[in-house]
Structure 1
């Protein structure tokens, strides 16, 4: 009887650990660096494959040449919600409705009054 309880407890613990690991699984942070054109211009990161449908993407923005920039996720089928006024040192989570397995990238946009190209860089993961 004791052995049966120990086995059941071990199986339950394994399931909890495995479930916890699956919930934590996501894409790895990857670097991005893109030129964002002037006057509402756009720039894009490279693609990542979405692991969990609709899970927020994470971005850690390193720099944008002293300007603020807007960012969202982008795929061939949909766009995420814009995160406005991202500045150097900001970390954000980007809402989206991309499906699992979708190739997703970041889209950056300068403001209408930004009259120069800017260079955005940092790290991100699509989750």
Structure 2
């Protein structure tokens, strides 16, 4: 746990709750205002897909659909220096089970 610099990749492994559940990564400090973050998704469990976005006290980003073994740019409106920057993951309302997600990300 802890806050990491936004230009450093930080591993994540978390469980997204069933039926529109959410999960979050640890925090990073945003380095550059409104710069796209980057998420490298290793695994989204059970052949499901989840949505991901960057969120913080000074803004948020658009939801991006993620899958196994793919990289994604994560647009956002978060300002530099924000230490509450993190990734949020969300399951579909039709997903009846918890879904494990793993990978790494940087807020930039």
State the structure with bigger RCO (CA 8 A, min sep 6), 1 or 2: 2
Please indicate, yes or no, whether the TM-score normalized by the shorter chain is above 0.5.
yes
For the pair shown, the structure with the greater C-alpha radius of gyration is 1
Q: C-alpha separation between the residues in 2 aligned to 1:76 and 1:57?
A: 16
Under a length normalisation based on structure 1, what TM-score does the superposition of the two structures give?
Answer: 0.77
The secondary structure found in structure 1 opposite 2:53 is strand
Instruction: Normalising by structure 2, report the TM-score.
Output: 0.90
User: Which among 71, 79, 89 is matched to residue 52 of structure 2?
Assistant: 71
Q: Secondary structure at the match of 1:71?
A: strand
Runs of 4 or more above 4 Å deviation: none
Q: Verify the 8 A CA contact 2:39 2:104 in the aligned structure 1.
A: yes
Q: Aligned equivalents of 1:33 and 1:102: distance in 2?
A: 22
Length, aligned pairs only: 101
Structure that is richer in helix per residue: 1
Which structure carries more strand by proportion?
A: 2
| Ranges in structure 1 where 5+ consecutive residues have no aligned partner | 1-25
> How many Å apart are 1:99 and its aligned residue?
0.5
Q: Deviations over 1:39-62 (max 9, x none)?
A: 110000000000000000000001
Render the CA deviation track for 1:55-104: whole Å, top value 9, x for unaligned.
Answer: 000000011112101000011232111102x1101110000010100121
CA distance in 2 between partners of 1:47 and 1:82 (Å): 18
Matching of residue 55 in structure 1 with residue 27 in structure 2:
no
Q: CA RMSD in A?
A: 1.0
Matched, 1:95 2:75: yes
1-side partners of 2:12 and 2:52: how far apart? Answer: 12
Q: Which structure 2 residue ranges, 5 or more long, are not aligned?
A: 1-5
